[in-house]
A and B are shown apart, each in its own frame.
Chain A
């Protein structure tokens, strides 16, 4: 009898645990308001809290979420969305065309909105009827669909947003599978199951607790000791140890972002003061001195995909005419000779993160073989961004978390007037092709345009792209239903504890 009671108690305890999903995050998210939010890690929490108009699948295809279908107008200057019926926000308000209009206008007009740039091309929003919204654009803009799969497509309750004003992020009210319960800064964010969720059949937990644990060793220790069920951003060197333990599983996804070295080719007068910024041949020599496979092996423990463009080679918009060059130190030396600088010296500014530091050190050692004298300048991240924006650098190791549409990885960095064009690169032909790819909806046509851009940009090398990191997740083996979507967000729909 006693045994039976113990067994029953154990089963109840196990059930109670199974009803809460505990996720370890690598950082503490910023404000939980989709309009104001800025961080990658915040988007992981939003994936449980706020549904979006559209979503992505494993192959980066656009799939329905709050909008069941979309239709471009004949001139490609308006996008009509049909909304899912019967969807309510966590406060019971209805999600209809008016609510979508309110949200898109909030993203566009709210002071300090981080979505304004993404929706710059939206000129107005019409609520055609209760379940139809038309987004009018000032010009055709193909990346809009991908934009609506991220924070710009997240819908919050208009009533709650109006009542809370700029304090909305402290008590967010969305329409996702889980609703907000509490947040203790730097400790936890707790969400509970939303009983009226439109897709409730796919939700198998009662609660989700997100816990920021900055140190990757401690995050892993929490998983191993059973205090967490899932951790994001596992350190690459912890993968082998975890693989041999049958209690856990590791999942990996190639990121949509990239890691590269931005070269100051025209941002400031410093561009002309060093041979790397001044002469394309020296940049070519620099790239030829690098062995990307070895960089990935040494700096990332093999946990990244080698690449030479703003999207990974597996992406449909990768420019196949411009593949990664192999290391060729002989040719690199010859190029330097032709450029008249056999031992060029430059400073490589590097954020203090361990990944960036390791990459810089490997690059330094490799480039030395061709005759480069690379000086590493470790700079705290916020300071390095500042120096980069002012053009006070020669070369800069920088990672970009990436956007689902290639335009989000390209235009801002490479277009003459791109807001994050820290290399100072400007090529009118490249600009024209980028602009055309934005206004063309046909994927095949866009792929051709990006191929042409890739050919030119990999020749001019304002950024020497190196690799695309793997998002490494580790979780207890009992957790199933995990979807590995390249944006690195943890979809909670379908997740189950067996």
Chain B
């Protein structure tokens, strides 16, 4: 076990190094001089020169990379030039927000996706099935920002039930927090629910036609027990794998949803940083996301290792 863990950790270090080089390199490909982007509409030559010197923009690429990397190795992700706050502080501020949004979205996706998938498999070729399939098609083909704005107009402007946008910390006001997060979580979870529904449906159809299900039915078990206890459990295995991968995607993919609902999370942070060429923020956020992704992957691998005896040999 320890050996396996060490092996996996040993592969993470070069991966992170590669990711850091990639982030740094890709940023340099962005057109436009960051010093000019940051200097504002006046583009005062003194300010441009100051920014160039401060961020070593005149130095060769490897030297700049070294400045950044040595900072990171000392636990310093740098400061946001735009608002003069340490990047690590911004990350600590935003990460819980995005985590909550992604988790809520995943819960919504799981509840809707699995229920619809099971119903459509069990009631194959009935109106239930067609309805679930239409829902899946709708979920996959509806753009997030459009659905978001429609929901805002309905629930905030017309009905006045929910706040139109914004964020409240759950520690300040839990009810307010849930009210603010439910719409964005639904928008984000909706598309993923469709994917889950399609997978659950096909997995369920496969399992339902297998021999042991026939045996269970032959034993005279109630249909509810056959479906929920015998079939669904097995059908869920690929769905859970998909869900775990999806959570990683939701963490990084909330950009548009956060923008529409003004949720101050990772997605909004990185979009603003890219447009304002706030390099240290972009680098810091991508590095943190990559690290989180790798950590999730490692946890998943460890779980497989524990569950699957074959991997231990």
Contact = CB atoms under 8 A, between A and B. Distances in A.
Given A38-B39, A185-B85, A218-B149, A112 B275 contact: no
A28 B83 CA distance: 10
Given A221-B164, A222-B165, A382 B277 contact: yes
A419 B44 contact: yes
Interface in A352-411: 380-383, 385-386, 389, 400-401
Interface string B268-283: 1100100111000000
B76 interface: no
Given A187-B264, A385-B32, A211 B47 contact: no
Given A214-B262, A222-B166, A385 B36 contact: yes
B64 interface: no
A44 interface: no
B58 to A, nearest CB: 16
B59 interface: no
- What is the interface residue range for chain B against chain A? 35 or more
B166 A187 contact: yes
B84 A186 contact: no
A39 interface: yes
Interface string A92-120: 00000000000000000001111011000
Contacts, number: 146
B87 to A, nearest CB: 11
Nearest to A420: B43
A17 to B, nearest CB: 14
A383 B276 CA distance: 11
A30 interface: yes
- What is the interface residue range for chain A against chain B? 35 or more
Given A30-B82, A167-B84, A386-B36, A221 B46 contact: no
A74 interface: no
A186 B277 contact: no
Interface in A109-139: 111-114, 116-117
A217 interface: yes
A22 to B, nearest CB: 10
Contacts of B33: 382, 386, 389
B276 to A, nearest CB: 8
A225 B93 contact: no
A383 B31 contact: yes
A166 B44 contact: no
Interface string A167-189: 10110000000000001111110
Given A31-B83, A114-B44, A221 B157 contact: yes
A227 interface: yes
B259 interface: yes
Contacts of A383: 31-32
A213 B268 CA distance: 11
Given A113-B47, A166-B84, A420-B42, A185 B36 contact: no
B143 to A, nearest CB: 14
Nearest to A117: B44
A224 interface: yes
Interface string A398-438: 00110000000000100000011000000000000000000
Nearest to B160: A225
- Give the residue among B36, B39, B42, B260 with the most A Cβ atoms within 10 A: B42
Interface in A179-231: 183-188, 211-215, 217-218, 221-222, 224-227
B149 A380 contact: no
Contacts of A116: 44, 46-47
- Give the residue among B44, B50, B80, B93 with the most A Cβ atoms within 10 A: B44
A36 to B, nearest CB: 8
Interface in A213-264: 213-215, 217-218, 221-222, 224-227
Contacts of A401: 41
B216 to A, nearest CB: 51
Interface in B44-94: 44-47, 50-51, 54, 80, 82-85, 90, 93-94
- Give the residue among A28, A114, A218, A380 with the most B Cβ atoms within 10 A: A218
10 contacts: A167-B84, A186-B269, A187-B166, A211-B166, A215-B149, A218-B152, A224-B156, A382-B33, A382-B34, A383-B32
Top 10 A-B pairs, shortest CB-CB distance: A38-B40, A382-B37, A187-B264, A383-B32, A382-B32, A225-B156, A112-B50, A383-B31, A221-B164, A222-B164
Interface of B: 31-34, 36-47, 50-51, 54, 80, 82-85, 90, 93-94, 149, 152-153, 156-157, 160, 163-167, 259-262, 264, 268-269, 272, 275-277
Interface of A: 28-31, 33, 36, 38-40, 111-114, 116-117, 166-167, 169-170, 183-188, 211-215, 217-218, 221-222, 224-227, 380-383, 385-386, 389, 400-401, 412, 419-420
Given A224-B156, A224-B164, A419-B43, 4 more contacts: A170-B84, A225-B160, A381-B275, A382-B275
